[in-house]
Chain A
Amino acid sequence: QKEVEQDPGPLSVPEGAIVSLNCTYSNSAFQYFMWYRQYSRKGPELLMYTYSSGNKEDGRFTAQVDKSSKYISLFIRDSQPSDSATYLCAMIQTGANNLFFGTGTRLTVIP
């Protein structure tokens, strides 16, 4: 079983839709959770960074962590064509070096 599972998609939504992206994980020691956005042929860009359980909102983006279920989500409100990218979840244990990534979900927002 992989440490982090993420549905690779692809996911296509109309402009303005609410997008829900999810990851599950197996290691209960993960404490820090991140979402990265990666455009084609570019490096990943950090979108959201949360510690432990709870919600965090930044503009149109909301990150949610449920440690009891080992489940994290990223919600995108009022999705735009410029949101079309691959979204990677990542997580790490306290004091550790290695980020564990999901496989990434390819999102296309159709105008």
Chain B
Amino acid sequence: GAVVSQHPSRVICKSGTSVKIECRSLDFQATTMFWYRQFPKQSLMLMATSNEGSKATYEQGVEKDKFLINHASLTLSTLTVTSAHPEDSSFYICSARMDSTDTQYFGPGTRLTVL
């Protein structure tokens, strides 16, 4: 089956620092990837849609200067949380849409804790 990896799986950082999260589709090409945020016992909230070679599209209320997204290749998208604050602590999940089938496959998630 299609595999999407995320790195790191957990990260703890100090307030004010920046954190980069990588999302990779390991065995398929994904022109489009998505970044979600999930709070405990809640469903996924779409933050942004990332397209290879172009600027990401952010959902309403998501600060593009705070959550920087880069999708430089057909298998890699990165999310950088800049100047992190404790309220940014959350579970961040990416998904990659397989070009050949349009099906979305999710990564295992990254738990970010900002102290």
Q: Which residues of A contact B (CB under 8 A)?
A: 32, 34, 36, 41-46, 49, 88, 97-99, 101-104, 106
Verify B106–A101 contact, CB threshold 8 A.
no
Residues of A within 8 A of B75 (CB): none
What's the A-B contact tally at a CB cutoff of 8 Å? 46
How far is the CB of B48 from the nearest CB of chain A, in Å?
10
13 CB contacts below 8 A, A to B, read A41-B111, A43-B93, A43-B106, A44-B44, A45-B106, A46-B104, A46-B106, A88-B44, A98-B49, A99-B46, A99-B95, A99-B104, A101-B43
A103 CB contacts on chain B under 8 angstroms: 42-43
Residues on A with C-beta less than 8 A from B93 are 43-44
Known pairs A34-B103, A45-B106, A103-B43; list 7 more (Cβ under 8 Å): A41-B109, A43-B4, A43-B107, A46-B103, A97-B34, A99-B104, A104-B43
